[in-house]
Amino acid sequence: MKRLLCIVLSLLFVTFSLTGCNILGGDLKALPYSFFASSEKIATDTMKKVVKAFDNRDKEMIKSLFAKEVLKKYKNFDKDLDKAFKYYTIKSEKVDYDWAGDSDSTDDNGTVAYTDCLATLKDKNDTFIFGVNVCYQDDTNELNEGVWCIYLQNKKLEPTKESKIDDSEPDYGIYLNR
């Protein structure tokens, strides 16, 4: 009898061990900005919300995606967002998403991690490229978690001069960046 009980308990233990943490039925990866969510999923889901907000001209949705600390320091956000909505002249019919990777830095205070996503939005006449930079983990300040930067580029327009890597606005696109 003891032997049968040991075998049954062993089989139950092995079964539960092999099923992982999903025993309770919760999908921990589905939670936004959770430890278990992949940075690719966070970036792509955020970009889908950005695209939807631009297609619907929804300023409040864009604002809600940005990190609270970024909005606090970004004095011209509403004005720049209006410029971005004016610059974006299409309603997307086809969207391709491309995860652009992630990065992080860790020190004694904790980890700060970012991820990026690109999207190509097309209609019959135009193509736009969107980029988004998302801070999905900041152990030092949770108010930094969220979108840090969105940029838009009309694919038909060519740069009029050599691009510089700095905070200046590009001649052929719009940056929403603090």
CATH number of the domain to which 153 belongs: 3.10.450.50
Structural domain tally of the chain?
A: 1
Per the domain annotation, does 136 fall within a domain?
A: yes
pLDDT tens across the length of the chain (178 residues): 777 767 766 776 666 666 555 554 444 444 454 554 688 899 999 999 999 999 999 999 999 999 999 999 888 888 889 888 888 888 888 999 998 888 888 888 889 999 999 999 999 988 989 999 999 999 999 999 999 999 888 887 765 544 444 445 555 566 666 5
Per the domain annotation, does 6 fall within a domain?
A: no
- From residue 169, alpha-carbon distances to 25, 26, 175 in Å are 47, 44, 6
What confidence score (pLDDT) does residue 76 get?
85
Give the pair of three-digit tokens for residue 152. Answer: 């838009």
What confidence score (pLDDT) does residue 53 get?
94
Per the domain annotation, does 1 fall within a domain?
A: no
What confidence score (pLDDT) does residue 116 get?
92
Per the domain annotation, does 53 fall within a domain?
A: yes
Q: Give residue 108's domain range.
A: 38-177
Per the domain annotation, does 27 fall within a domain?
A: no
Distance in angstroms (rounded) separating the CA atoms of residues 22 and 68: 33
Is 173:84 a contact under the CB 8 Å cutoff? no
Whole-model pTM over 0.75: no
Per the domain annotation, does 29 fall within a domain?
A: no
Per the domain annotation, does 166 fall within a domain?
A: yes
What confidence score (pLDDT) does residue 122 get?
92
Per the domain annotation, does 11 fall within a domain?
A: no
